Structure 1
Amino acid sequence: MNALYQQLLDAVDVGIHVINKNGETIIYNKKMMEIESMGSEDVLEKNLLDVFKFRDSQSSTLVQALTTGKSTKNTKQTYFNYKGKEITTINNSFPIIENGTITGAVEIARDVTQLEHVIKENVLNKQNTNFTFDKIIGHSEPMLTVIDEAKRATRTTSSVMVAGETGTGKELFAQSIHNGSARSSAPFISQNCAAIPDNLMESLLFGTKKGAFTGATDRPGLFEQADGGTLLLDEINSLDPSLQAKLLRVIQEKSIRRIGDLKDKKVDVRIITTINEDPIDAISSGHLRKDLFYRLSVVSLFVPPLRERKGDIDLLTKHFIEKYNKLFKMDVKGISSEARQILHEHDWPGNVRELEHTIEGAMNLILDEDSITVRNLPTKFRKKYQQNADKLPSSLLNLSGEGVENRPLKEKMAEAEKFYIQQALIENKNNISHTAKKLGISRQSLQYRMRKFGL
């Protein structure tokens, strides 16, 4: 039975802390350890006040229950663990009474530390939006198409859903739509739905009314803060389905109700959402309500992954080199042809963000070079380059011409191009369309080169 009790205590999604009549901890469940960033060995069998520190104006609700015999409900409490970490919880505390004598006290806690940090970091305040369409880098056809569609969406106040893989730059489009619209002078509020626990997200979105729980204050939510402007809900598919239903009601009625309030308040907010998976897949898997999807996707934009817009790699690489030149006070001129080729061969599962981190990492490894070379790239790229180099004919490896007949550069470049196309055809099982996509050229251009080289 003890094992069963312990399993049940660790399974619940609230913190449970029990002390005996001496103020020593006798039960401390897994959730409480997570909330307070403590191990059981740090707390069990130790006096509560030796482990945790409370502000002068506030005492422990758990100790109060032990000493006064009074219960408290929905009381907000901020305190510190022995490492100095600040913790904020909403507590229900009550004494344990046996035969009329107080023998201990129990506290059930919900964590609101993250919400407090969000508020302190001014997430609820108007955020600066730096991106406009002219700052989005890309001249490939897929990118120009989605930019054009996004520009058209600036003319209205309809909801926009921006779909795309992680790292493709979905928020750049959201900011650009806001800055290009008539709401550009109004607030732009952004919130990642995956970053806040479900039990805190509702109060963050809709706000709280004083008296909703002990310690609650009149606090506007994201919708009120974004009134007249734009609210970006990032990773909407991470939002709890019950909250999705409440969000749907807000969109339909154009009004919100703070937690603990009895009155609705009208809000004028344009909603832009992002989603990092195919919306149809999200609906099928239960991550996104179908009715909410139809409301949010009046305008649907699909940001292409980097592997489908490899024609933009050179532009992006140049931009990131310039960015980190300024940041690191360096003067890197560019990237070698061998390193550039590797960047074009990579599939970029992390998309533009991965490319940026790759360039940043490479520039950290530069010593005396004036450009990024293969040896400056991360290990996974260098290994791939070495594997490809092992397949190359010796005439291509010996670029200095030593030991082989010297030939004009044009001939050597043609031989290298022919070899590269051959390898791509082999890897794609001679599928012309797939090979052309892999090489970042059109099908017609590939067919021309195949005829030219007799392939």
Structure 2
Amino acid sequence: PIHAPTGRLIGVIGIVTLEPNSHPHTLGIVMAAARAIENLLQAELSLAEANQHLTELNAVLQAVNKGIMFLDPEGTVTHINARAGAILNVPQRLATGRRLSALLEIPTEVEVAIAEQTSITEQEVVFQTDSQACPCLMSMDVLGYGSRPLGFILTLEHASEVQRFAHRVAGTRAHFTFDDIIGQDVEMKRVIHYARTVAKSDSTVLLLGESGTGKEMFAQAIHNASRRADGPFVAVNCAAIPRELMAGELFGYEGTFAIAEESRPGKFELANGGTIFFDNVDGMPLDVQASLLRVIDTKEIVRLGGTRVTSLDVRIIAASNNVDLGNEVKEKRFRADLFYRLHVLTLVIPPLRERRNDVLLLIAHLVEEFSRRLKKDVAISPEAMAVLQSYHWPGNVRELENVLERALYMVGDGTLTLEHLPAELRSATIGGTDRVILTLQEAERQAIIRAGRALEGNVTQMAKALGIGRTTLWRKMKEFNLSSNSFKR
């Protein structure tokens, strides 16, 4: 009988002959022939299964979003998936069977690892072809059977993909847009309009304004309105980084300069394809200013301790609390050449004390936001509103935000009164140098006038901002002989 590999009977071999012609070994020959056929069927099945497994393995390797490459012990490519071919800029069909060194220039650390039969774990390397450099994150493991080496498996990720993943994890995204910037003041509207225009270009931007005026919000809005909106937004506070670490933070480390012998990209590389924002740029050391100037001119960097030149596609936005940054140039505390390179498109953000009509808008917005966050329904008393609107706000929007957040935490009965405001705020506005004390009626009248001017006589919005009902507002306006039409422009 002849059985299939599954054990199923598929046939028989029979020999019929006359007895005089029979031979004692005939039966053995027939049985051997049957076993040979069965072995051949088993071999064909095993080969088909092996081919199926190979097909499945190839499909898996092609589906993996990382580059996979197999080398034999001599460094010859035995298999490479399409992703690896794309990362290394090597045609997949031409790579198999050729030595890797014949296809491209192998980094020294990879050559040493192959020669010494050692592994590499997530190391940044650069393969060099005739046409371009191919930076990638690479791991290499040694393959072996017992003590016999079989070769190497290389896992590759393009450096740009690693950076994009790092951006998602680190949250290097711009969250604010121009819709988040609150302002109806004439000068503020002019600045916002100019900023929208600036966003369409790739030129360097310089933002000047006092602390707390919202320079980073403008920087993020410009980024989100530009063609780089899908790229990273990396903020660098120049005043917060120690002088001796500044260059490494910006340009990265390599070789003997690297921490724990691991290469590390700098802020410029992390911002590649997007925007880098230098806050407090006047706090940057002069030697680093010179390096920044070169980056602006050449759009290239070299890591500390490295030799590889990396091309950049980065927009630079700088900011300073010092509105008269030109004076820093005169005092030789800021490089003149860098100032002129940054001073291409300049926006001066007005302080809050010069945007009196915006104070009410900001108060209404912030109270609504904090009330929602704290799950409270809070209104502001007229006398508290009058104090908030008449204060000069040296810390600008940031100070206003902090005062309101603190006050809303203290509110218990749903109405924010003078007692919830900081003592220095009350004394600065009511008991200041002129010692003028507002009556309750005058405080209410001034609050309504400010609301009317800011909201152009829209009674519904005025009532909401003042924390009172429409009917109450109409009654008080009639009492003070005020008309909504008088506030319309």
Normalised by the length of structure 1, the TM-score is: 0.58
1:392 CA drift (Å): 4.8
Residue 273 of structure 1 pairs with residue 318 of structure 2: yes
**Which residue identity lines up with residue 313 of structure 1 in the other structure?**
V
Any conservation in 1 of the 2:390–2:429 contact (CA below 8 Å)? no
Match of 2:373 in 1: 327
Match of 1:129 in 2: 174
The 3 A distance-change label for structure 1 pair 124 and 267 is farther
1:363 CA drift (Å): 1.1
Distance in 2 of aligned mates of 1:392 and 1:163? 36
Equivalent runs, 1:266-345 vs 2, <5 Å: 266-277=311-322, 278-333=324-379, 335-345=380-390
SS state at 2:199 partner: helix
Matching residue within 207, 211, 229 for 1:184: 229
**Which residue identity lines up with residue 312 of structure 1 in the other structure?**
D
| Structure 1 alignment gaps of length 5 or more | 1-120, 400-408, 418-455
1:218 CA drift (Å): 1.3
Matching residue within 216, 219, 231 for 1:171: 216
Match of 2:271 in 1: 226
1:413 CA drift (Å): 5.2
SS state at 1:354 partner: helix
The 3 A distance-change label for structure 1 pair 391 and 134 is closer
1:281 CA drift (Å): 2.3
1:255 CA drift (Å): 0.2
Matching residue within 408, 417, 421 for 1:373: 417
Match of 2:306 in 1: 261
Match of 2:183 in 1: 138
**Which residue identity lines up with residue 172 of structure 2 in the other structure?**
Q
Distance in 2 of aligned mates of 1:257 and 1:190? 20
The 3 A distance-change label for structure 1 pair 213 and 169 is closer
The 3 A distance-change label for structure 1 pair 287 and 343 is farther
Equivalent runs, 1:56-205 vs 2, <5 Å: 125=170, 127-205=172-250
The 3 A distance-change label for structure 1 pair 124 and 174 is farther
Match of 1:84 in 2: none
Distance in 1 of aligned mates of 2:320 and 2:349? 11
Match of 1:99 in 2: none
**Which residue identity lines up with residue 383 of structure 1 in the other structure?**
S
Residue 248 of structure 1 pairs with residue 266 of structure 2: no
Provide the alpha-carbon RMSD of the alignment.
2.6
Any conservation in 1 of the 2:277–2:317 contact (CA below 8 Å)? yes
The 3 A distance-change label for structure 1 pair 343 and 225 is same
Equivalent runs, 1:341-360 vs 2, <5 Å: 341-360=386-405
Any conservation in 1 of the 2:281–2:320 contact (CA below 8 Å)? yes
Any conservation in 1 of the 2:219–2:317 contact (CA below 8 Å)? yes
Distance in 2 of aligned mates of 1:159 and 1:413? 46
**Which residue identity lines up with residue 155 of structure 1 in the other structure?**
K
- Residue identity over aligned pairs, in percent, reads 41
Distance in 2 of aligned mates of 1:133 and 1:332? 27
Q: Deviations over 1:207-240 (max 9, x none)?
A: 1113335723211111111111111111100000
Distance in 1 of aligned mates of 2:389 and 2:295? 45
Distance in 2 of aligned mates of 1:354 and 1:259? 40
Distance in 2 of aligned mates of 1:366 and 1:125? 36
Q: Deviations over 1:375-424 (max 9, x none)?
A: 1111112334553797459xx46x6xxxxxxxxx9xx959x99xxxxxxx
The 3 A distance-change label for structure 1 pair 255 and 125 is farther
The 3 A distance-change label for structure 1 pair 179 and 391 is closer
Q: Which is higher, the Rg of structure 1 or of structure 2? A: 2
Moved more, 122-131 or 149-158: 122-131
1:191 CA drift (Å): 1.0
Match of 2:75 in 1: none
Match of 1:383 in 2: 427
Any conservation in 1 of the 2:212–2:398 contact (CA below 8 Å)? yes
Distance in 2 of aligned mates of 1:353 and 1:367? 24
1:372 CA drift (Å): 1.6
Distance in 2 of aligned mates of 1:286 and 1:329? 52
Moved more, 318-327 or 139-148: 318-327
Normalised by the length of structure 2, the TM-score is: 0.54
The 3 A distance-change label for structure 1 pair 199 and 123 is farther
Distance in 2 of aligned mates of 1:331 and 1:125? 35
